[in-house]
Amino acid sequence: MSTYTQIYYHIVFSTKNRVPCLAKARRDQLFKYIWGILKNKKCHLYHINGVDDHIHILTSLHQTVTLADLLRDIKISSSKLIKERHIFSSFTNWQSGYGAFTHSLKEKQALVDYIKNQEAHHTKETFQDEYKRLLLEAGIQFDEKFLF
């Protein structure tokens, strides 16, 4: 029997201490690099975007890829790229941890639109408020002292 999946992951993670160092002019380099990682792992990227201190990825994972391994590889590889090529001068590292939320096919286009509009969205809502809202909407219990 073949393996079939349809799981859309909305992944969110921030820079260490939420330092606003992901300059807009150079983010495309980072996003293309992450897209390459996803392609190499046979994952499908639907959209990637972010602002100065965090990024959002909408992807589906190949059946052989675990979420934790994928995020570890993305963070380690992209950190190395950023530092070696001096893409973002104030970048030190990614924050430990991440948020990953599963969604259905019916929600996919709304999520793509949401991720596309991150800059406009963050004129109205801080990353901290957004992240708490995403956790609450997903029904995830959390202790605020461990969020940021």
pLDDT at residue 103 in the model: 96
**How distant, in Å, are the alpha carbons of 79, 94, 95, 129, 138 from that of 72?**
11, 10, 11, 25, 22
Each residue's pLDDT tens digit, 73-104: 999 999 999 999 999 999 999 999 999 999 99
Tell which residue, 112, 124, 100, 122, has the closest CA to residue 53: 122
For position 72, what pLDDT does the model report?
98
Instruction: Kindly tell me if the per-residue pLDDT of 144 is higher than 80.
Output: yes
**Is 90 exceeded by the pLDDT of residue 139?**
yes
| Domains and their CATH numbers in the chain | 8-146 (3.30.70.1290)
pLDDT tens for residues 1-13?
788 889 999 999 9
Mean of pLDDT values over 130-134: 96
Chain mean pLDDT for the chain? 96
